[in-house]
Each structure stands twice: as structure tokens, then as C-alpha cells.
Structure 1
Amino acid sequence: MRLIALTAAAGGAGCTTVAAHVALMLQTMGHACLALELHPRNQLGVHLGLPYPVQSGWAAPAAQGRWWGDCAVAAANGLLFLPYGPSNMAQQLQLSQQWLDQPQWLHTQLQGLALPADTLVIADVGRPTSALAWQALAIADAVLCCTTPALDSVHALAPLHAGLPAAAGPDRFRILTSRIDARRLSHQRGIALLHAHWKAHLLDDVVHEDEAVPESWAEGSPVQLHAPHALSSHDLQGVAHSLHLWLTAPPPGAPA
């Protein structure tokens, strides 16, 4: 099992959209995948084409000490999905205390799933604003950070990267530029900053702003099924392919 954590330095970077579609596409490419939702917005399911809102998930049972694996459901093309689900404030406080008291909580829960060794767990972490999010980033085999070219988002990358539990070199940490509108001068400046300061970490692929994404969301279908010829579908296919190459490449220093 390998954990790929999708995070963001600022809100609105499309992290959930990318997590959903990358998981679906990697599954289609032959990887066994689990899409795992790790924050309470409870939006990942709709991007996977499930009815909105998802009525049950792992958070409420976990707050009561019950097993989270019973909440897994099947999404499109056989993808396994573990939704966060609805939760109230009392449950959120209970979970927060569990995560603080048990720094290995997420690791233990993932091991308990007993997934096949070749499974890719695509975790929608979002902005790391909880102890659970930092647990995910600490144990992830790969961290993909989504950012828009907006200058505030670009400037937020440095503190996020510095806060990772270990120095994350280019072999473990990547940045995906998303929601690009190249007509905007601020986005042009942001892209220039990314190439100046984060070139070693940048994915070659990007995701453009595209109305097909919210349209597919409204239709309850993943964008690559709703609008397979849309720019966003093409972009996300490229991201999935790049992740496939990244995750299947031999580690640095390995024999050729």
C-alpha cells in the first residue's frame, strides 16, 4: 500500500477535484486504488459521481470508536471510496482529541484495512488544518500540493513545505498548478514565481480553469465521463499519467 496525499497551501486550489479524477484515472490505468476523504467538507463523493450529499461516512462511527472500514463504498469503474461523511461539532471535537492523543491513529487505521500491497491510497487531505491532515502528510509516500497561480497561494507554499515532518525532496513532493487562467496578469506573475522558486518540484502538467468541472459536478458525473473532450479532462488525464510515471519510477540510486 502506498499513500498519496493531495494537499493545498490555500483554499480553492481544486484539491478535491484533482484527487477524485486522479483516483478514477489511475484505477482505469490498472492500479488498485482507494479514494480516501480526510476532511469534513464531504465533497469528494460528488466528484466521483455519487449522489450528493454522501449520507454516511467514517467520521461519525470513528468518533464513537467504531471501525471506519465498514463505511467504504464502490464508485465508478470499481474504485473503492471511503467518504468522510456528515459529522456534528461534538463528533469533530471527539475526533480532534483522538488524533492529538494518538499520533499514529491514521497509520493504524490504514493498516487495519489490510489492503493489497500494490494498492494506491489517494487521500484528499485539503489544507492541513487538523492533526489528521498532518498525520497523513507525515506518512505519505508522495505529497502532491495543488496551488492556483494566485500570488497569495504561491506565497503560502513555503510555510507548508517547511512544515512537512521531514525534508521533502523532489522525489517525494510535487506541486500541481491548477485553475489556471492564462489571460489574467496575476496568474502570469504567479506562474513565473512558481518556475523561479519551485521548478524542481513542479509537475509539467497543469489544470486550467474550465467550466466543464462545475457542469459535471451539477450533473453528478465525473468530468472525464460527462465531458471527455473538455480541456479539464485532458489536463487531468495528463496529471494521472505523470503520477503513474512518478510512482512507478525506480527510487534514486536504484540499479538501472
Structure 2
Amino acid sequence: MIVVAVVSAKGGVGKSTMAANLAVALSRHARAVLAVDLDPQNALHLHFGGQPQDIAGLSRASVGGTAWGEVVTRAASGVRVLPFGQINEVDLPTLERRIADDPHWLSTQLRSLDLPADAVVILDTPPGVSHTLRQALAVADRVISVVLADAASYATLPQIENLIRRHYGAKPGSVESVCIVNQVDATSRLSREALQLIEGVPGMRVLGRVRADRSVSEALAHGQTVVESAQDSVGRQDLLQCAEQVLQLLPAPGQQAPEATADAEAPVETQPEPTVVLGDEDRRPQGQAAPKSRKAGVYRLMAALLCAALVLLIVLWIRTR
């Protein structure tokens, strides 16, 4: 079993969309793929033909003592899907306490599925910091961050990078941070500048860029991924290229996936670096100031935003006179 965690520091970046499309694209390479939704928003199954009123999923199964294998479904694409499901406000805290009290909850549940050694498990994780995300990072063989080509995503990169370095449990040696930049708008100067800043982050490898394409959201409206539906869309082309890059990071069929470290919960030692403080549990000393070039890039981006807002205010003022 090879585990790929798809993560993001904030919501609204297309993380579930990316996880679903990567799952379908990887399944076309003769890989058995299971897409697992760990996000309480329960959006992943909608990309595979699920209905909003469907309640079954791993959340209710975990609280009720049902095996995860009993709530796995099979999509038309061939991908097996394990939704988060719907859970009431009484049972959700019970599930959260169980995850917090058992650091091996996720790894135990995944092993219970008895998947083939070369099966790929795509984890759609909840955004931000949580016990669930920490466990997903600890069991992952590869971690892929999803960001937008905007200033907000650039600002959150230190958050997710710091978290990955602290909790990523895979061998070997150095941890390579990889990300996919979503909804890139080549016609927008702000989008281009944000992309340039993200690509310039030291230690961060941009695995792929997905151009803004309404075909992606139109596919979701029909309960499909864009990989399955819009044959000529640029979004589909970009996502297939991203899947090819992800495939190169994974062991070939028949090869052994990297084993987790003996103490997956122990933080990984890293060199001091500028970080955004995540909270008491993830607090660490800040290092030296960011390079001047990165600061200058942020200032340029902020200045462009302010100028755009000022122009908009002037236009509105003129129209109201």
C-alpha cells in the first residue's frame, strides 16, 4: 500500500478536486486506487457520482464499530471511494477524541482494508492543523500540497511546510516538499507574480500547474472528474500531467513502498527557518529573516492589489457623481 496525502493550509484551494482527479488519472495506469476522504466537509465522493444526501462513510463506521471495508464504494472510473460521510454533532466530538487519543488510529484502519502492496491510497485531508492531518502525514509515503496562484496561498506556504517537516513519517533521508499550483490565470498579472513567488520558495518543488478552467467545476456538477469528461479541456491536460509527475514519485508496481519511521510522531529535525506560528503545539523559534528578494516580491504583489483597489474606488466614485 502506497499512501499519498493531499494537503492544504486553508480551504477553498481545490484540494478535493485535485485528490479526485489524481485518483482517476492514476487508476488509468493499471494501479488499484482507493480515495479516502478524511475531511468532514465530505466533498470527495461528489466527484465520483455520490449524492449530497448519502450518509454512509468512515465517520459513522468508526463511531459505530463498523469495518471501513463495508462502506467502500466503487466509482464508474474504477476508483474505490471511502467517503467521510455525514455524522451528527453528538458523534463528531466522539470521533475527534478517538483520533486524538489513538495516534495510530488511521494506520490501523488502513491496514484493516488489506489492500494490495502496490495499491495507491489517496488521502483527502482536512485543511489546516488537526490530529487527523498529523496522522495522515505520519503514514504518508508522499505528501502533495495544493495552493492557489495568489498572495494568500504564498503566505501560508511556511505553515504547511513546517507541519510537513514536523510530522511527515516516510523514509528515506531528506523530505522534499512538493506542491501543485491550482487555478493559474495566465491573463492575470497578480496570478503570474504569485506563481513566480511560489516557484522561488527554497526547498519547494512545484510538481505541476493547473490552469483555471470552468470545465473542472462543470464536471463536478455531473458527478465526474474532468479527467473523465472534458477531453479537450486545458484543466484535464494539466491534471494528467500532474498525475504523470506523481506517478514518478511512487514505487513501480512490485517494488516495496518506503517504510514509516519507527517513531512516526517524533518531529523531524530541520534547520531553523522563517515560519508562521501555528499554535502552541507547533510553535518553534523563528530563524533569520526571509531573503530580501522574497520580501520585495510580496511587497510588489501587495502594491499591485492596493493599486487595483484604488482604481476601482475611483471608477465607482466617478460613476456615482
TM-score (norm: length of structure 1): 0.90
Q: 2:215 matched to 1:212? A: yes
User: Residue by residue, what CA displacement relative to the aligned partner does 1:211-252 show, whole Å, maximum 9, x if unpaired?
Assistant: 10111111222212221111111111111111111213799x
Does the 8 Å CA contact 1:58/1:69 hold for their aligned counterparts?
no
Q: 2:34 matched to 1:34? A: yes
2:142 aligns with 142
Change (3 A) 1:248 1:95: same
Return structure 1 stretches of 4+ with deviation > 6 angstroms.
Answer: 167-170
Letter in 1 for 2:71: C
Match for residue 181 of structure 1 among 154, 169, 185: 185
Does the 8 Å CA contact 1:142/1:173 hold for their aligned counterparts?
no
2:65 & 2:241 partners in 1: Cα distance? 40
User: Residue by residue, what CA displacement relative to the aligned partner does 1:119-152 show, whole Å, maximum 9, x if unpaired?
Assistant: 1101111413421121001221000000001111
2:133 aligns with 133
TM-score (norm: length of structure 2): 0.73
Question: Unpaired runs of 5+ in structure 2?
Answer: 257-321
Give the match's secondary structure for 2:125. strand
1:42-191 aligned within 5 A: 42-164=42-164, 165-166=166-167, 172-191=176-195
2:123 & 2:97 partners in 1: Cα distance? 21
Does the 8 Å CA contact 1:99/1:132 hold for their aligned counterparts?
yes
Change (3 A) 1:127 1:170: farther
Report the CA distance between 1:47 and its aligned residue: 1.1
Does the 8 Å CA contact 1:34/1:119 hold for their aligned counterparts?
yes
2:319 aligns with none
Greater mean deviation of Cα atoms: 68-77 or 92-101: 68-77
2:97 & 2:124 partners in 1: Cα distance? 21
Question: Unpaired runs of 5+ in structure 1?
Answer: 252-256
Report the CA distance between 1:166 and its aligned residue: 4.6
Q: When the two structures are aligned, how many residues end up with a matched partner?
A: 250
1:172 & 1:85 partners in 2: Cα distance? 32
Report the CA distance between 1:171 and its aligned residue: 5.4
Does the 8 Å CA contact 1:142/1:172 hold for their aligned counterparts?
no
Letter in 1 for 2:47: H
1:223-234 aligned within 5 A: 223-234=226-237
Greater mean deviation of Cα atoms: 166-175 or 70-79: 166-175
User: Residue by residue, what CA displacement relative to the aligned partner does 1:141-183 show, whole Å, maximum 9, x if unpaired?
Assistant: 0000000011111110112111223578875531111111122
Letter in 2 for 1:139: V
Does the 8 Å CA contact 2:3/2:141 hold for their aligned counterparts?
yes
1:193-208 aligned within 5 A: 193-198=197-202, 200-203=204-207, 205-208=208-211
Report the CA distance between 1:57 and its aligned residue: 0.9
1:87 & 1:241 partners in 2: Cα distance? 36
Identity rate, percent: 30
Letter in 1 for 2:101: D
Greater mean deviation of Cα atoms: 231-240 or 55-64: 55-64
2:202 & 2:12 partners in 1: Cα distance? 20
Does the 8 Å CA contact 2:134/2:167 hold for their aligned counterparts?
no
Give the match's secondary structure for 2:200. helix
Change (3 A) 1:198 1:170: farther
2:126 & 2:184 partners in 1: Cα distance? 18
Give the match's secondary structure for 1:36. strand
The structure whose RCO (Cα within 8 Å, separation 6+) is larger is: 1
Letter in 2 for 1:17: T
